[in-house]
Structure 1
Amino acid sequence: MRHYPSISALRAFEAISRLGSVSSAARELNLTRSAVSHQVNVLEQMLGFVLTEKVGRGIGLTQQGERYATEARRVLKILHEAARWNDGPEVTGRLSVSCVPGLANYWLCRHLGDFILQYPKITLHISAPSAPDDTRNDNVDLFIAYGNGSWPEQYVRQLMTIRLFPVCSPMFSHQVGGLSSPSRLLQMPLLHLVSYTDWRVWLAASGVSDIHLEGGITFSDANFVQSAALAGQGVAIGDNMVSGDALAKGLLIRPFDISIESPRAYYLVASPEKVERPEVQAFIAWLESRVAEAQARYHAD
């Protein structure tokens, strides 16, 4: 298994290394400070060593960070030249992408028109896997999978991590007279994804003791969980990507500010042969750019 840093994380680190400031890097990349810091934190976690350190009021690079910055600039220059060579309309072919239904329905499918505008000669096919971490379909060129990052012998690159937190419709909150404390959730109809695990972890992180979860509704996919929450059927564990647009539009609310990082993440997975194809590289570059924008907008502390 091979892990690769995301382009957005490399861009964030390169900007910080060049400008010596998170704020300056955020302005250049048109992102929030927290989004830039998050990208560098993800990169450090993947690499297993620290890249930056505080220097006065600014930020500097560690010795390992200096070496990695040189390599990051070289990689970004190569990618920039490759993008110029394979610019937009010149990239052709059929591209099959598998994406977990929740992310596809509530985020990806709402932005695909932008990709087609940039690459009108690519015929795009979107499908859903049988399970969030399933990458066994030989007819698929690129998987957007949700799991722990373990796909042996495949090209694997983390696309994004997510934050988990309770969400419900304003109508539901009004019907139950509001949610005054996390412990009151134990008396509410809870909506579960696959198991009670996410709710148990969030409640424990919120200081709730004697957690006894019974009843509620368990769904096999985040798509169903979100739909039930939007329809006022209970309180769900949402995340900053799948729930982000509904939260921004006021269709869902967050009754509590506490969030936890999911133990799983979204990954790009493909065979080493398919990932080298120009149409796959074009989609990956476009996808990472849109994800960086979305995470800056929907960032959940």
Structure 2
Amino acid sequence: MFGPRRYLPSIPSLLALEAVDRLGTATAAAEELALTHSAVSRQIKVLEGQIGVRLVVRDGSGLKLTRTAQEYCEKIRAVLTDLSRSTLTLRVNPAGGSLNLAILPAFGLHWLAPKLKSFAQEHPEVTVNLSTRLTRFDFDAEQQDAALHYGTRDWHGVHYLRLAGERVLPVCAPGLFARPLRSAEALQAATLLHLQTRPGAWENWFRQHDLSAGGVAGMLFDQFSTMAQAAVHGMGVALLPEYLAQIEIARGRLVSAFGDPTPTEGQYFLVWPQRDPEKPQVEKFVNWLKRNL
């Protein structure tokens, strides 16, 4: 139960207040909402009367939100966003059964996406909605049912399904080095490209080759795709997952800088919250993955 209905403001009033807060003026809000300036002002007055709190200061230059109203608008915006997303989900899948899956960009695109056609054929009643998340998040705070996770079993309050291990390979643009490197030690003097979510990747690689690599410096990227593109343009050496490195090597855009692919400490998992009862669409997806690993 939501509580007394008198504490549930009308959508038009909330839209008017949110638009004034975001756009800065009632005139701009009226244009966006296809209303008159007076209609926007009237909607806000209705909201003030309903909740008994002053939300705007009216002066000769227009409407100015109070600090309390600005804080209230942050919550309004989140609620309206969730409502819009839920409505869109219902519209594209009126039969229900949507699975909201947070993916890692590179692994999700190259490992999972090609398999999803098989899941759709087996379970046409479930619509899979994909969105990108680079790090762990709170399942209770976001509308996600499951997520792809790289690393160890360090995400608390979730179930784990191991999907794959990983091997990485140093790659660079053809011609970056005048002659092929003959040792891993030679890479210590190269410009190395780093991924934000894996700050210790190069140190681990050097350690596997019995070398110390404290204080390795270089450019920082938030995704493998942008780091790979930087390597293509000769900006340094990228340590890429084998599946991604091989694609770029086959295209002739990158070459191996040194050695063979080496295993990383992390693994890829599907994770989903430890809720009771478990959502049927999550159970279907997990069971399907187990049969197709």
Using the size of structure 1 for normalisation, the TM-score is 0.55
> Which structure has more RCO (C-alpha within 8 Å, separation ≥ 6)?
1
Q: 1:266 aligns with which of 265, 268, 285?
A: 268
- How far apart are residue 162 of structure 1 and its match? 1.2
Q: 2:153 aligns with which of 149, 152, 166?
A: 149
Aligned to 2:81: none
Contact 1:166 1:255 in 2 (8 A): yes
Aligned to 2:116: 112
Aligned to 1:199: 202
Task: Report the Cα distance in structure 1 between the residues aligned to 2:219 and 2:202, rounded to whole angstroms.
Answer: 12
- How far apart are residue 104 of structure 1 and its match? 2.1
Residue 193 of structure 2 aligns with an amino acid whose one-letter code is L
Cα RMSD, aligned residues only: 3.0
Contact 2:126 2:281 in 1 (8 A): yes
- How far apart are residue 191 of structure 1 and its match? 0.6
Gaps of 5+ in 1: 1-90, 293-301
Say whether residues 1:103 and 2:104 are aligned partners: no
Identity rate, percent: 26
- How far apart are residue 159 of structure 1 and its match? 2.1
Aligned to 1:181: 183
- How far apart are residue 113 of structure 1 and its match? 3.2
**SS class of match (1:281):** helix
Contact 1:186 1:213 in 2 (8 A): no
Contact 1:146 1:266 in 2 (8 A): yes
Task: Report the Cα distance in structure 2 between the residues aligned to 1:275 and 1:238, rounded to whole angstroms.
Answer: 39
**SS class of match (2:256):** coil
**SS class of match (1:233):** coil
- How far apart are residue 289 of structure 1 and its match? 5.3
Q: 1:139 aligns with which of 140, 143, 155?
A: 143
Q: How does 1:1-301 map to 2 (within 5 A)?
A: 93-129=97-133, 131-136=134-139, 137-168=141-172, 172-177=173-178, 178-194=180-196, 196-209=199-212, 211=213, 213=215, 215-247=217-249, 249-273=251-275, 276-288=278-290, 292=293
Task: Report the Cα distance in structure 2 between the residues aligned to 1:277 and 1:156, rounded to whole angstroms.
Answer: 16
- How far apart are residue 93 of structure 1 and its match? 1.4
Per mean C-alpha deviation after superposition, the further-off stretch among 141-150 and 103-112 is 103-112
- How far apart are residue 110 of structure 1 and its match? 4.2
Inter-CA distance 117–230: structure 2 relative to 1 (3 Å threshold)? farther
Residue 152 of structure 1 aligns with an amino acid whose one-letter code is H
- How far apart are residue 247 of structure 1 and its match? 4.4
Alignment size in residue pairs: 196
Aligned to 1:69: none
Task: Report the Cα distance in structure 1 between the residues aligned to 2:291 and 2:256, rounded to whole angstroms.
Answer: 27
- How far apart are residue 282 of structure 1 and its match? 3.1
Inter-CA distance 143–249: structure 2 relative to 1 (3 Å threshold)? same
- How far apart are residue 145 of structure 1 and its match? 1.4
**SS class of match (1:191):** strand
- How far apart are residue 125 of structure 1 and its match? 0.5
Task: Report the Cα distance in structure 2 between the residues aligned to 1:250 and 1:125, rounded to whole angstroms.
Answer: 33
- How far apart are residue 165 of structure 1 and its match? 2.6
- How far apart are residue 196 of structure 1 and its match? 4.8
Task: Report the Cα distance in structure 2 between the residues aligned to 1:212 and 1:155, rounded to whole angstroms.
Answer: 35
Inter-CA distance 239–187: structure 2 relative to 1 (3 Å threshold)? same
Contact 1:164 1:238 in 2 (8 A): yes
- How far apart are residue 117 of structure 1 and its match? 3.3
1:50-74: CA deviation from partner (whole Å, max 9, x where unpaired): xxxxxxxxxxxxxxxxxxxxxxxxx
Contact 1:96 1:141 in 2 (8 A): yes
Residue 199 of structure 1 aligns with an amino acid whose one-letter code is W
Contact 1:135 1:143 in 2 (8 A): no
Inter-CA distance 126–196: structure 2 relative to 1 (3 Å threshold)? closer
- How far apart are residue 158 of structure 1 and its match? 2.3
Task: Report the Cα distance in structure 2 between the residues aligned to 1:92 and 1:254, rounded to whole angstroms.
Answer: 47
Contact 1:134 1:145 in 2 (8 A): no
